[in-house]
Structure 1
Amino acid sequence: NQIDLLKPVIDDSGSDSAMLDNVLELLVHSGRSLPHAIAMLAPEAWEMLPDTPENRARRDFYAYHATLMEPWDGPAALVFSDGRTVGITLDRNGLRPMRYHQTADGLLVAGSEAGFAHLPEEKIIKKGRLGPGQMLLLDTASGTVLDDTAIKNKLAHQADYGDWLRKITVPLPPQPADRFDLPPDVSRQQTAFGYTAEELTVVLRPMAATGAEPIGSMGDDTPIAVLSRVDRPLHHYFKQRFAQVTNPPIDPLREKSGMSLKVMLGRRENILLDGAHRAAQIVLDSPILRPTEFRALQNLCATRPDFHSETLSATFPVAEGADGLRIGLERLTAQAEAAVRAADTRAAILLLSDRAIDADTAPIPILLAVGAVHHRLIKTGLRSLTSIVVETGAVHDVHHLATLIGYGAEAVHPYLALATAAKLASDGKLKQVSPVQAAENLVRALKKGLLKIMSKAGISTLDSYCGAQIFESIGLGHDVIDRCFSGTPANFGGVSLAQLAETVLQRHRTAFGASGPRLESPGWFKFKRGGEYHGFNPQVVKTLHRAVKNESAADYKHFSALTRRQNDADTAATPIDGLSIQSDRQPISIDEVEPVSEILRRFSTAAISHGAISAEAHRTLAIAMNRLGGMSNSGEGGEDPARFGTEANSAIKQVASGRFGVTPAYLMAAKELQIKMAQGSKPGEGGHLPGHKVTAEIAALRHSTPGVGLISPPPHHDIYSIEDLAQLIF
């Protein structure tokens, strides 16, 4: 096969830019022009172009190429050349700057910074900056400069992309509002799929009531999943990776116009070929399928041979015991491969369903199923020939949905979560919300949450997020990673496939046992006696209060011991809790150690704002650290100017994305400035101070309005590159 001579297309050892260049070179050598290939790889936010006659050809051009390839997403300013044509372009959000100057003597100069080149003003005939998704080209042979409109119009009219598009795309027909006939065994299913009473109250009920995720305080003082005292769902073992400066987050509110949840189902064929003689694709506006949409998809697949689907059961017989999970995964992946290979009925869509659970059948954790099928098809070279759609009862929070899509699911029908939302309404637990509206609110909340999670990684389109697996695993064994999540960083090892199977079977026994189903309340969100361990549990807090009240060194040592948790299996919460210092060296003389006063100069408090804590606590921290010779950190909420120049002044002043309270006087009162790029407890997410906490005092310090909630954006809106950060510093 001659195409094998091109492989591998991408050099995995290269940088992101090098990988982009690998694919760009392939597209250009296949016959596409350089601007054509660039427009495929880094398209503008074409979905937001008005659907007018003058824009239709342009929209059709991008919509057609979206059936071939997802955008190479992320804040980027690209400079490209093939030896004759030189061009510059920005990605769809245009967050990186790109300025240019054209001179009368034929010079075109482009760069990210103002003043990057000293040019006589009288020679400049044109200057400007690119907007989001815009492109500028110079043909060095003819000396012709083409602006964005000319380039895009030329590309859009080089073929009848609208005609091609109509022949190869099929929108899912609009569906009426769902009616819910609630199954009688919702509680049994919830138990089998690991729902908890706590999640119903804290997570699902607010989403079903308001159409948004609930607002909670930052941080988590419970153990990571592998060290948990209670059963944790599989997706808790995954954390999304994050790179604040090199791939900064996007503000999903401000940049909403550049974000898209659109997804396509069906075969994706050879990207080197153009034309209408390609496999058709189903266009979805969102990866979250309501019941009527899921049924409409099934009906469409049944009536169109080119959308033939195979439904594969993501379950295993309880009688097979713990080994049944491994056997079930092997059976499922073999069935998936066979369905895609079948010469007569090649499946363009694989429906993975865990709906068929009963007293004798347990669910395969759907994330395991998706990951195993996804990677089996990649290894066999079949992945682009089919789409994975999931019908599952396991999804009941946004993170689980994100992991499924991140590991390859193009669409998800969370049937049990939707039924649960409807049941909350029918049981009267949601004020003035009907069952249909409750389910619709849940869908809205999942969409918003998915956009927020994508934006943390600087990704704007679902197509780019799907299958990207930008997660790391903490606590899963290598047998699980190798089988289902190949390529995922997993440095610690941990829970095996057999152990995961035991957890599934235990939930199944609880759901279908003689005593009937019951939803546990494990204490993930709030301390519960006998439940999950919390670092700041009542014993720790009371011990600290006692130490302060009694000014007792013994009580403080007790408090310190409670918070260290070293080598204590009952209280270990992170990997560091299993470490202790060991040395084979003799201790040095105390005379060789720096004096306490010098050591204390390096001490500083964590940044915490006046607003997160009271004025009294904030002031006391500053006074204490100043007296010790260390430094307190103001946090992002500003500081009372009356404290400047006194021992109550915070030596470190923080500059965060909201710039609340940042004034010249505030900055001048600092010994050290801290630019907060991200918070470890919620990287890429920003912050939210609810309106009821914005008192007159807080509003005055933050130069805002009392009673109005304050949002700290995920990024600094003037920092989208290392150069931007350098500018802010200097």
Structure 2
Amino acid sequence: EGGEPPIRGKPLQDVDEKGRSPTFPHLAGLKNGDSANSFVHQVASGRFGVTPEFLVTAKQLEIKIAQGAKPGEGGQLPGPKVSEYIAGLRASKQGVTLISPPPHHDIYSIEDLAQLIHDLHAVNEKAGVSVKLVSSIGIGTVACGVAKADADVIQISGGDGGTGASPLSSIKHAGCPFELGLAEAHSALYNNGLRDRVTLRADGGVRTGRDVVIAAMLGAEQFGFGTIAMIAEGCVMARVCHLNTCPVGVTSQKEELRKKFPGTPEHVVNFFEFVAAEIRELMAHLGYTRFEDLIGRADLMKSSETNMGRVAKTKSMDVDQFFSGIPNTSEDRSFLRATMEGGAQVMKEEIVHINGFSTDLDRDICKNDAVVKVISDNEGEAAVQYKIQNTDRSTGAMLSGDIARAHGNNRFKGKITVEFEGSAGQSFAAFTLPGLSMRLEGEANDYVGKGMHGGEIVVVPSKNAGFVAADSSIVGNACLYGATGGDFHAEGRTGERFGVRNSGAFAVAEGAGDHCCEYMTGGVVVILGTVGRNVGAGMTGGIGYFYDIDGEFEDKLNTEIVKKQRIVTPEGEAQLRTMIERHNDLTGSKRGAEILNNWEEEKGKFWQVYPPSESQSAIVTVVEEDPAAVPLRVSASAPDGEMCFLPVGGQLNPEQTQRCAD
């Protein structure tokens, strides 16, 4: 979660005879072909580190809906833990707190989840998509929806695991045991004929071989170990993960603490060997020689009346649902295999779900000879035109995936321009890269520019449109969600949550709905029209410019973090004007032309919105030495040899007098 250095995505080819690699000088015992790449890359609500290259180098992509230890709470990485390295991975600023939203702002229904799964399958067709759900009552219905949404893996997360950075109240009191949700999910999927479509995984409190066997009997095929694996490598459960003061360096970014890390790979390997040995002993006791024969066999469990009555808090607990509600699968084992067209069954791990006709347009673009040549040669230009309709979803994601696989995030030297005409479906121009230009004449649905990393997206109304562009919505909600770069221009209004979690895109639109620039950490957003409420909530980086036509903007701004001012610096004025001029060049905007033609008057109607992390930048603050200030002297009593100043003709207050007294 949170990004991974691109260098880890490629197999090692520079290992010497001593097993050392200049790529990873701190590792030993390497050989050519080894990979430091994580098998699963996570897409969480903050979308930190989610770039096209991050997505295409994964074997599996996990959508984390929530964590079992803190369900529904989102997350926060305190500023002291945001080192230069972490800030680079997450496209943010060193030392600035990073806030993840509690929900995914492109998921408000099972259909929205299906769209995100569709996006990920489009950008990386070879990777399976897993969805991490929190164990709870009613999770079976949700699991059925996730299976129908074409997820490959469903992970049920229990409340007994979790990070030490979770609030103590959540660790102690929130969440349910994984057994509860796992049993319900397995039963619901099996009873609705969906069990063979997905793999079930359990985590959150899995610690021993016995836990693994019980999870398997309740339906799990895969198992996740988190906290216990950290303990095996040296974690002492100090529960200060969020303070950057871990005494054994497991969760600290401080070099002096990291040097105290006691763990070795052998510690973790030994732990899992003991877990496997315990599993083998339990299987032998039950009389089974194959682990998969235990999966879904809840009939092999019974309630321990002795243990249930021993502890007061379990005396009134009813566990009958674990035995009476789970289907008996002792004879029907077909759910362990995926059923293909024609009836053939294969291992679920061998296949992933493939998007259907909704990505046919993207496939056509990827097969275009001119496009293929530019990508393979890594030079030259290609320009192609297509009609588009609202059933064409995630258009551009597959093309971006092809570029990222060949050239990574920033090594593509060619230029591909794709022009569309019509009404685009969800996630138009998702995950675009430098060198890719997507232009749409018409309109687009939600999530335009989701995960944008570079390039250019332009959306303009149809030439035959009978409406005023600046007063009409032209793109939907949550556009530029998690963007890390690139330029976006819309001649018209955007929906709600425009620029949510923007980390680096430069964008111009002519109006926006509620929650504009929410959780933003970088980039610049210019709005040439009215906006809805709650502007800048959770915004810790980047700059916003808002054209206050109706004089109501001040009431729409969330001032918990950000501040506002009129444009006071030449650099700020130049940045705003340059972006509007570029917007006019690309869209022919009438609103932009009106502003530029009367610049001296209209620039005074703009508010500049900025968080504390940007307050000292040249864009925001005029830094000048006061010529009327006369330095008195360095006071011996002033802290850190502070220089004291006295304005000519001015007076010192008592505190200043004391600090500067000699």
Higher RCO, Cα 8 Å, sep 6+: 1
TM over 0.5: no
Query: Higher helix share goes to which structure?
Result: 1
Scaled by the length of structure 1, the TM-score of the pair is 0.24
Structure whose residues are more often strand by fraction: 2
